[in-house]
């Protein structure tokens, strides 16, 4: 990515953040960046060989930290 491409992508991400309020930036397997509306906590990166027990432990840990949603429902 050239500096001008980085600035162009940064402007697009900032515009998406202004519209959505907050965005999560992810990178796909081809190295492309995507801005998705919302907030997120990074749990991990997994592929088809992921250890199911380790993945289940990560998911249990995440749900144990669950926060109350905006509408008050847990």
Nearest partner of 70 among 43, 39, 41, judged by Cα: 39
pLDDT the model gives residue 30? 85
**DSSP E strands, the chain:** 23-27, 33-37
Contacts of 1-9 spanning 24+ positions with Cβ under 8 A: 9/33
Whether the model clears a pTM of 0.75, i.e. scores above it, the answer is no
d(CA 56, CA 27): 23
Tokens 């515009």 correspond to 15
Q: Which residue has the higher pLDDT, 74 or 56?
A: 56
């Amino acid at each position: 990515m050239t500096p001008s491409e980085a600035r162009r992508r940064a402007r697009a991400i900032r515009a998406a953040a202004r519209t959505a309020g907050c965005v999560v930036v992810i990178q796909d397997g081809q190295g492309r960046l995507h801005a998705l509306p919302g907030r997120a906590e990074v749990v991990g990166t997994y592929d088809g060989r992921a250890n199911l027990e380790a993945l289940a432990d990560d998911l249990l840990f995440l749900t144990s930290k669950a926060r109350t949603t905006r509408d008050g429902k847990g």
